[in-house]
Structure 1
């Protein structure tokens, strides 16, 4: 498939300036690799240019971009060549304030995808449950359940770390 070589519109450039860092962080949490996260972010903006959807407002656009990058990351992780465990030490570090924050981030990144996604959106990107529900296209009760189970997994892991 040949892509058009025209320059993207100002709205795409502005969207990139506003959302690229957030989308990169989401992809990094999912994929665990700086290079893969950069590629996923780029692919998301290419899809924005190609599809050129009409958005009701900036929140609608933001939710669309998050949904696209999340789905793209799931696709990448599902490919045969990609089915491998990604260690945090191979990833570019996300800015954290303390060693405790880094340890917690490592635990979050090791979680199953469905818990990692809601934990990241809720705690690291400050999305309310209602917005996460819309973005991931799951019910609010499913978001709450995943947050609860994710917290339980983290608590068990943290208790295991403290007892060592």
Structure 2
């Protein structure tokens, strides 16, 4: 899709509709806070509006939006406001299916580096090499983080059931 076939505002509206859920989910996975994730989403849309160059293809478009989202999340983490203020009560996850909400809440309990690779791998469908490129890490690092994240999730899901059987 090119800007030339439609106005810039229409083009931005199409991109926002196309990637809104992905941006919010990625920011939520990175930050663990729905309010912060919504703020990051708004920041990404503003940067998208200010972006003047056309994207090469949909892969470039999606990668650019993911990269901008990750950078905006890093800005939130580095913000002195985040260190000074903590939310009184975290908002409930806007997920209707109870089992899905439980899995997402377990993923959000993981350390940030694990949440991010889990999200990009399982929810966005990226391969480990693509995740490594997006995050600026080595592919082996991403594979290790993915393996450790799976192990931590397995521990959280089984909740010590294996230990009880050995007694």
SS at match of 1:54: coil
Q: Does 1:11 align with 2:11?
A: yes
Other-structure match for 2:81: 81
Q: Does 1:22 align with 2:22?
A: yes
Query: How many residues matched?
Result: 156
2:31·2:112 contact (CA, 8 Å) conserved in 1? no
The correspondence of residues 31-46 of structure 1 with structure 2, limited to 5 A, is: 31-46=31-46
Paired with 1:161 and 1:97, the residues of 2 have a C-alpha distance of 25
Other-structure match for 1:69: 69
Other-structure match for 1:134: 133
Task: Please report how far the alpha carbon of residue 12 of structure 1 lies from its aligned counterpart in structure 2 after TM superposition.
Answer: 1.5
SS at match of 1:90: coil
Task: Please report how far the alpha carbon of residue 44 of structure 1 lies from its aligned counterpart in structure 2 after TM superposition.
Answer: 0.7
Task: Please report how far the alpha carbon of residue 21 of structure 1 lies from its aligned counterpart in structure 2 after TM superposition.
Answer: 1.4
2:118·2:149 contact (CA, 8 Å) conserved in 1? yes
Q: Which runs of 4+ in 1 moved over 6 A?
A: 84-87
Paired with 1:161 and 1:114, the residues of 2 have a C-alpha distance of 24
Q: Does 1:112 align with 2:116?
A: no
User: Could you give the per-residue CA deviations for residues 34-55 of structure 1, whole angstroms, max 9, x where no partner exists?
Assistant: 3322221111121122232332
Task: Please report how far the alpha carbon of residue 10 of structure 1 lies from its aligned counterpart in structure 2 after TM superposition.
Answer: 2.7
1:27·1:73 contact (CA, 8 Å) conserved in 2? yes
The two structures, once aligned, show a CA RMSD in angstroms of 2.6
Other-structure match for 1:54: 54
Could you say if the C-alpha distance between residues 53 and 126 of structure 1 is closer, same or farther in structure 2, counting changes exceeding 3 Å?
A: same
Q: Runs of 5+ in structure 1 lacking a partner?
A: 1-6
Other-structure match for 2:102: 103
* TM-score normalised to structure 1 length: 0.80
